[in-house]
Amino acid sequence: MRETAVSQQAAPRLLEWYDRLARVLPWRAPPGTPPMDPYRVWLSEIMLQQTTVAAVKSYFQRFTALWPTVQALAAADEAQVMAEWAGLGYYARARNLVACARRVAAAGGFPDRREGLAALPGIGPYTSAAIAAIAFDRPETVVDGNVERVVSRLFAVQTPLPAARRELTELASTLTPQTRPGDFAQAMMDLGATICTPRNPACAICPLMELCAARAQGIAPELPRRAPKAAKPLRTGTAWVALDDRALLLERRPARGLLGGTLAFPTTGWDGTDLAPPQDGPWEAAGEVRHVFTHFELRLSVLRAPLANPVRGEVVPRDGFDPNTLPGLMRKVWALAT
């Protein structure tokens, strides 16, 4: 059967290609060498969730300079970790990062199997498989968006995503080799990121082109198919910016929920709250910021006033304040109000 031939031939071809052309990344060991420190693999995989490689590189280098080991990160102040994370989004990841580091440090190291890794805070099915394969060379099947695209084209899977996910994972598992599974997982990611791209795939230089059913049928750019996306709902709210030459007013958001645990300007309305202004007025309109979250769009009216006698929040000195430590939404609010 064709699927058997693909399963037998794909890994050797892809690993030979990876040995020559693997991307050089700060969290990655060279092909064919012993696996990387599991701390660096774990940290990179958490950072790369919902984020691009280009965006993550500088964060990874800064984090590993500040906290070079999982023990160092476990001992870090959570507020400092949140501040360093600002801009990567999905702030629950940063809170889970600290919780996981503390659990691992207390246990004396990372579990070396997928099941043990999946029991740690913030580590789901994909991440546990990726760490097990890349850091411990376990023959786990690692399926991210790049791998879904490669597999859907390799086997010409017509079922739209997300309904196709189970089928794609099962097909991907037929490709995973018993030897060098960590290199193979990273090779699949590299193939999807550099050659088997969403638009205009470079089929002519693909190491799997002779095995690819979608290429043979002339439909590679059309796959994977996707079900139509529903329009994102719109939310609205208000942000208050109280400041003078010496200080500004921020608040620590609740640990759970949107922008959880971050320092932010006081807001209301958009996140299910119904709060009064953090100090008496008068407030003047500064404008509106727009921001897109995963599940909704936001329009936030920004009001500004001189810092007076706040009834809630934290008065933060302007001296030494770095707006880059704010979440992306709040950096937009800051830029508009100042």
Q: Residues 6 or more apart from 299 whose CB is under 8 A from it? A: 234, 235, 236, 237, 288, 289, 290
pLDDT tens digits along 147-178: 999 999 999 999 999 999 999 999 999 999 99
- Greater confidence, 67 or 1? 67
Q: What is the pLDDT of residue 133?
A: 96
251 is catalytic: no
pLDDT tens digits along 246-280: 999 999 988 888 888 888 999 999 998 999 999 99
Q: What is the pLDDT of residue 83?
A: 87
Q: What is the pLDDT of residue 1?
A: 53
pLDDT tens digits along 176-234: 999 999 999 999 999 999 999 999 999 999 999 999 999 999 999 999 999 988 889 99
Instruction: Report whether pLDDT(123) > 70.
Output: yes
pLDDT tens digits along 35-75: 889 999 999 999 998 888 998 999 999 999 999 999 999 99
By the 10 Å C-beta count (0-12 exposed, 13-18 middle, 19+ buried), 55 is classed as middle
Mean pLDDT of 15-35: 93
Closest CA to 182 of 40, 333, 280: 40
Say which of 16, 45, 167, 210 is annotated catalytic: 45
Q: Do residues 237 and 269 lie in contact, with contact meaning Cβ atoms separated by under 8 Å?
A: yes
Question: What residues form DSSP beta bridges with 289?
Answer: 300
Q: Do residues 89 and 110 lie in contact, with contact meaning Cβ atoms separated by under 8 Å?
A: no
- Whole-number Å distance between alpha carbons of 187 and 16: 10
Percent of all residues in the chain with a pLDDT value above 70, rounded to a whole number = 99
Written as six digits, the tokens of 167 are 């089928």
Q: What is the pLDDT of residue 260?
A: 84
pLDDT tens digits along 68-97: 999 999 999 988 998 899 888 878 888 899
Q: What is the pLDDT of residue 2?
A: 63
